[in-house]
Amino acid sequence: MTRLERNDRLIRLGLLMIAFSAVSILIVITLFIFSEGTPIMFKYGPGRFLFGLDWYPSEKAFGLLPMIVGSFFVTAGALLVGVPMGLACAIVLTQFASKRVGRILKPVIELLAGIPSVVYGFIGIVVIVPLIRENLGGPGLSVLAASLVLGVMILPTVISISIDAFQAVPPTYREGSIALGATVWQTIRMVMFPAARSGIVAAVILGMGRAIGETMAVIMIAGNAAAIPGSPLAPVRTLTSNIALEMGYASGEHREALFATGVILFVIIMALNILANWTSARRKR
Amino acid sequence: MAGNPRFEQKIVRAVLWTMTGATILILLFIVAFILRRGLPEVSLEFLTRNPENMGVEGGIFPTIVGTLALTLMAIVIATPLGVGTAIYLTEYTWENRLTRIIRFGADCLAGIPSILFGLFGFILFVTKLKLGWSILSGGLTLSFMILPTIIRTSEEAIRSVPAAYREVSASLGCTKWQTVTRVVLPSALPGITTGVILSIGRSIGETAAVIFTAGSSLHIPTSLFSSSRTMAVHFYILAREGISMPNAYGTAAVLVATILMINIVSYYLMHRFTRKYS
């Protein structure tokens, strides 16, 4: 074996180790969050965390149900706003807009992803919250405000993945349908949508993951009351806000309970990731 | 309406274009709103002076230094890991169970919310490894967060280098590594750079992962072990605690303007890169 060949083998080995960095980091993160968060869950019983209604960490009341429900409401609201808007953009960009217009619009939409979440939260405080307070009543800091802002924040995810899904449909499908005399809209509705369905589902799932995981913007506009919201105008606290709000000063069991919140969040996110991975794997087959 | 597909199409088309227009308008509104209210607050003094009275007065100089230090740190750690992973995935193996695991790991990492990175960085770097709230803790945490982006963009960039380049290099008797470093990487460089620039943008705007790992000290950092506040964290604290609205707007304007420039540069690079190989 020449020196060069030996070097090449070493390099291959080194690169293989580097290639495992992402997986290793994922494993380390999982281990740390679980090892910090699960002991307290088992000490008091997972049911107390998952179904408890009261969150008074200083009195050992660690009910996370209001936050779980809060995250669910806010995410559902975000999907109601973000999915139709995102699909509309993806359809316009892939089916209706000319190449030239598409080339201008796409980077503009991608810019939405670059805007920091604190800036979205800020726009929420100074624009959306006062609008809601003055026109619909309530404190303004609410499920509605969080849903609107999160809906815009998940747009880039929904748009870019559904654009990929539409572009993955073989062009002959579309051409065949047009040749049979269908309008562009009939083609989209009856040919493109069914063919791109699993990609669109993946887009919605990943958009959901973004909405559940978003923290700073939500803290700024959701009001953060640890109770199940009774209406869209009521304040709400999500799992992410629960961690971020109290992490700064929590200690002892309180801090462990925040890690338990992290565990629940982590499990939800991983389930969504696996689901999205599974849908897109099925599409490739 | 059902009887007239052409009429139906006209209506649907109008509705969809309106929604797309609304999306664009929202974006323009956000950028214009922040810049119009914030830019008048920004001056050379604002950028180069220290904050006074917790940020009620004075400038944002230490937060600019902090942002640069953390971002640099994150990029220096994540780029070799990300590009190395991409080289392995594209040049040194074929699609098999191993690559599927690596890709799945990177996808999952990309989906983890930044607050969980913050929690993890806090417990591992700040507490267990006793690095404290520091540029080191924050930079390491950020580098983990941006790794998937760098892997994905580098992989795409390397894949788009035509196979003929590699074949010619191999036919000249070059080893795999020589081909990679002298032919493939230089050709893929603009694409890789785009990914790195996008990650810089993401690091600059990140708050949740940074606030629990780098802390929020307003002093100019002097070493890797000093706590430091980034622009995004500073903006968050100013706005949320209502310390100073004019300074919050000013900081936001600097933040948004920087990210705007980063996106324009990366778009320009990407455009040139894809035109070259298509």
Instruction: Dump the DSSP string for B217-245.
Output: --SPP-STTS----HHHHHHHHHHTTS-H
Which pLDDT score, from 0 to 100, does residue B129 have?
Answer: 92
What's the CATH number for B42-277? 1.10.3720.10
Q: Do B206 and A116 lie within an 8 Å CB cutoff? A: yes
Which pLDDT score, from 0 to 100, does residue A187 have?
Answer: 92
CB < 8 Å to B240, chain A: 219-220
pLDDT classification of B236: cutoffs 50, 70, 90? very high
Asked if the C-beta of B3 comes within 8 angstroms of chain A's C-beta atoms, the answer is no
pLDDT classification of B1: cutoffs 50, 70, 90? very low
- Structure-model confidence comparison of residues A109 and B36, the more confident one: B36
**Cα B44 to the center of its chain, rounded Å:** 26
CB < 8 Å to B19, chain A: 84-85, 88-89, 92
Per-block mean pLDDT, blocks of 10 residues, chain A (285 long): 79 92 94 92 87 86 92 96 95 90 84 90 94 90 95 94 92 92 90 92 94 94 89 92 90 91 95 87 63
Residue B121: partners with Cβ closer than 8 Å, 6 or more residues away: B137, B138, B140, B141, B144, B209, B212, B213
Nearest to A19 among B84, B201, B205 (CB): B84
Which pLDDT score, from 0 to 100, does residue A158 have?
Answer: 94
Which pLDDT score, from 0 to 100, does residue A1 have?
Answer: 63
Could you read off the pLDDT of A17-48 as tens digits, one per residue? Answer: 999 999 999 999 999 999 999 999 888 888 88
Q: Which structure tokens are listed for A267?
A: 């499990």
pLDDT classification of B278: cutoffs 50, 70, 90? low
Amino acid letter, A145: A
Residue B7: partners with Cβ closer than 8 Å, 6 or more residues away: B1
ipTM of the complex as predicted: 0.91
pLDDT cut 90: percent of chain B above it: 60
Closest CA to B141 of B159, B156, B126, B161: B126
Which pLDDT score, from 0 to 100, does residue A285 have?
Answer: 53
Which pLDDT score, from 0 to 100, does residue A14 have?
Answer: 92
Find the residue in A nearest to B104 (Cα).
Answer: A277
**Which of 102-141 (B) contact A at CB < 8 A?**
102, 104-109, 111-120, 122-124
Residue A254: partners with Cβ closer than 8 Å, 6 or more residues away: A57, A58, A246
Compute the nearest-CA separation of B88 from chain A (Å). 6
pLDDT classification of B2: cutoffs 50, 70, 90? low
**Which of 23-52 (A) contact B at CB < 8 A?**
23, 25-26, 28-29, 32-33, 36
**Domain map (residue ranges) of chain B:** 5-40, 42-277
Contact (CB, 8 A) for B102 and A22:
yes
| Alpha helical stretches, state H, chain A | 3-19, 21-44, 46-51, 65-91, 99-114, 117-123, 129-136, 143-153, 155-168, 171-179, 184-187, 193-213, 216-221, 239-246, 252-284
